[in-house]
Amino acid sequence: MNAETSTIYRDELANIVFVKQGGKIALKNTPANWELIGKGRSAYVFKIIGEQRAIKVFYPPFEHLAMEEARNYEKAAGISFFPRLYEAGEGYLVMDFIRGKTFFDCLAEGVAITRDHVAQVDKALELARRAGLNPSDIHLHNLLLTETGAVRLIDIARFSQKKQCTQWQDLKRGYERHYGQYYFPKRVPKWLMRIVAYFYQLRKRLNSKQ
């Protein structure tokens, strides 16, 4: 996909300012008709008010991921588990806004994640593989559950990497072993999920160095 040279969001995009604050990238201003809905390790995501669209704006030095993710969305086009991509340009993507909660928020708020939801993730990943993608980086913030019980997957920039990622199998194993057990809390504290994620990533990094 080629970078768009003209976009109706040109003024908003031009006005976005990112600033470096203590090693992190902070957003200085949110455009008037945009609402900040999320932030990750490479982008800020906004809902365009009055539209069912979300715009993902990559901050430095991750702008190049926009085109990578766009190419992956093109491959996943037509698979209902993924948002539809409307536009891709220098450092940004416009896609369907998904009204729902991330699996992270579901666990934090005590919203049940059922076997059917897990099966939907499996199905989405199988369809993505058939479309030539290599699903990677499947974590709790990249899985969304809508009010009608539909699961949606976002953030597929890393679906074209070569190495195999076992993150979803590991998450699923954790779910099958522990979720719903007598000791599993109804609401999982966010700090606890962040600590588990931190040690999981640390172990992965150490293993890949061996």
Ligand X SMILES: Nc1ncnc2c1ncn2[C@@H]1O[C@H](COP(=O)(O)OP(=O)(O)OP(=O)(O)O)[C@@H](O)[C@H]1O
Least distance CB 157 / Mg ion (angstroms): 9
Residues 6+ apart with CB under 8 A from 50: 33
Q: What is the DSSP letter of 140?
A: G
72 contacts which partner out of Mg ion, ligand X, none, CB within 5 to 8 A by kind? none
Q: Is 155 in the site for Mg ion (CB under 5 A)?
A: yes
Find tokens 């009608």 and name the residue: 148
What is the rounded distance in angstroms from the CA atom of residue 21 to the CA atom of residue 194? 21
Choose the one of Mg ion, ligand X, none that binds residue 43, judging by a C-beta under 5 to 8 angstroms depending on kind. Answer: ligand X
Instruction: Give the whole-angstrom CA distance, residue 137 versus residue 209.
Output: 19
Measure the CA–CA gap between 53 and 2, rounded to whole angstroms: 20
The span from the CA of 149 to the CA of 154, in Å, is: 16
Q: How many residues bind ligand X (CB under 6 A)?
A: 21
Query: CB within 8 A of 105, min separation 6: which ones?
Result: 111
Q: Catalytic residue at 137? A: yes
Judged by beta carbon, residue 118 or residue 153, the one nearer ligand X is: 153
In the complex, least distance from residue 96 CB atom to Mg ion, rounded to whole angstroms = 16
Q: Which is nearer to ligand X, 43 or 171 (CB)?
A: 43
- Assess 42 for contact with Mg ion (CB under 5 A): no
| 114-143 binders of ligand X (CB under 6 A) | 141-142
Structure-token pair, residue 183: 């000791």
- Told to check if 75 binds ligand X by CB under 6 A, we report no
In the complex, least distance from residue 181 CB atom to ligand X, rounded to whole angstroms: 27
Binding residues vs ligand X (CB under 6 A): 37-43, 45, 54, 56, 83, 95-98, 102, 141-142, 154-155, 157
